[in-house]
Amino acid sequence: MAETEVERPSPAPGRHAPPPSPDELVAGYVARPAGTGARGTVVLPGGPRLYMLVDGATEARLTIRRRTSAPLPRIGFIGPTTSVAQLDHGGAMLLGLRLRATAWPTLSDRDLSRFTDRVVPLTTIDPGAAPDERAPDAAAAFAPWLAAQRTAGRARDGVAQQIVALIDASPRASVAELCAALGITPRHLSAICLRTFGLPPKRVLVLRRFLRVLRRLLPDTRGAGRVLWEAGYVDHSHFAKDCRRFLDSSLHALRQHLGDGGDPL
């Protein structure tokens, strides 16, 4: 199912915003048992993500295009990825979660573009991060850390929420049209997108549109023509071009690769 962002307006000036709920920060959870085979876990473009490797994590590695990061931290943060990646976790169980597009300003004051296409220990993001390592699933594992971040007093980024809402409402919108709707300059938009989404504006536009369609069509390709048109694609070849750009393959090839091996991260 396609990720659906539930955007909420910023509070009126002078009013304190209630801490966001977990559902406002997390788009989805993944649990992959040890011994899932050589395919490991597919990490779709986008992000960012959190993960924990339970037992046997010494040989785990993440490959983005032709660059491999190994060994991986046992509890890690994967920044925004610009192409499909492969997380091989061998004998370790993987507990992971995908953050929503607008979650980052609530979780950190750092520039997210510093972590694009990188994986780092979660303690790099927050030295005091202490997920529950005995938890049975990703939701329980990261609940303590997410709760601490939600109550840290960081404000939601109202402009980031508006950007996401505008893209979702008008998937054919251009960078110039976004600037006009927000009343900001292209330079200001670029700074916001890099800091909040880890990517420049044009890449944010194209990748968000692509991912919404991809997650909708991965489980079921029926009605693909309507889904593509509503998302702003001219035709199947237009979408196929983005598949080659972000997946280095076709939708059909990715569906075959995933098989019944579980959801991608």
Domains of the chain, each with CATH number or no CATH = 22-150 (2.60.120), 158-258 (1.10.10.60)
**Range of lowest pLDDT (61-65, 115-119, 188-192):** 61-65
d(CA 183, CA 29): 36
Q: Assign 157 a pLDDT band (cuts: 50, 70, 90).
A: confident
Give the mean model confidence (pLDDT) for residues 175-194: 96
Residue 261: what pLDDT? 55
**Comparing C-alpha atoms, which of 220, 105, 229, 217 is closest to residue 158?**
105
pLDDT digits (tens, 9 = 90+) for 198-247: 999 999 999 999 999 999 999 889 999 999 999 989 889 999 999 999 99
CB atoms within 10 A of CB 122: 20
